[in-house]
């Protein structure tokens, strides 16, 4: 019984030292400061920052994504010609977009072979639109190689 009592005291003491009290207080302080800043921004009607601005479409191309996870995904043009594939060097992002499109189409219960619209905006950003589901993605913040996998298809 004495051994259990000693172990219990050691664990109680050890748990207090695991996370210092000042660290917990700092964490809650940061949370409160964040909520206060957001609340101030909302109350004072501050303009939004870091929001994507809508830019007119400069160029557009219709594409079809076809394939599977094991063999790769091909990007086809209107004539059915393969213009890119996820198995090409630095083009694995095509597979990621294909999975997202397929998921949106499965949820919406629409055919998976409908064309997509690949667009380049006036500001240089590239976007992909799926008019059958309303799904859309702006290809910014995904890395230079990932964006280039689609951007080179519209040039």
- Write out pLDDT tens, residues 46-99: 888 877 778 888 889 999 998 888 888 888 888 888 888 888 887 788 888 999
Q: What does the block give as tokens for 104?
A: 């949106």
Dist CA 91 CA 87 (whole Å): 7
Q: Domain locations in the chain? A: 2-43, 57-154
Contact present, 119 and 129 (Cβ < 8 Å): yes
If you count them, how many residues does the chain have?
Answer: 155
Dist CA 57 CA 4 (whole Å): 72
Three-state DSSP class for residue 62: strand
What pTM value is reported for the model?
Answer: 0.67
Between 141 and 60, residue with greater pLDDT: 60
């Amino acid at each position: 019984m004495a051994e259990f009592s000693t172990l219990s005291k050691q664990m109680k003491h050890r748990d207090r030292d695991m996370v210092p009290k000042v660290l917990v207080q700092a964490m809650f302080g940061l949370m409160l400061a964040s909520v206060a800043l957001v609340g101030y921004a909302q109350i004072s009607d501050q303009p939004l920052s870091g929001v994507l601005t809508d830019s007119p479409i400069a160029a557009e191309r219709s594409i079809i994504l076809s394939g599977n996870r094991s063999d790769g995904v091909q990007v086809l043009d209107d004539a059915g010609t393969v213009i890119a594939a996820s198995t090409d060097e630095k083009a694995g992002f095509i597979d990621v977009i294909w999975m997202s499109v397929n998921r949106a189409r499965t949820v919406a219960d629409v055919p998976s072979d409908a064309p997509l619209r690949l667009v380049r905006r006036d500001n240089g950003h590239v976007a992909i639109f799926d008019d059958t589901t309303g799904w859309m993605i702006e290809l910014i913040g995904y890395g230079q190689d990932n964006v280039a996998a689609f951007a080179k298809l519209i040039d």
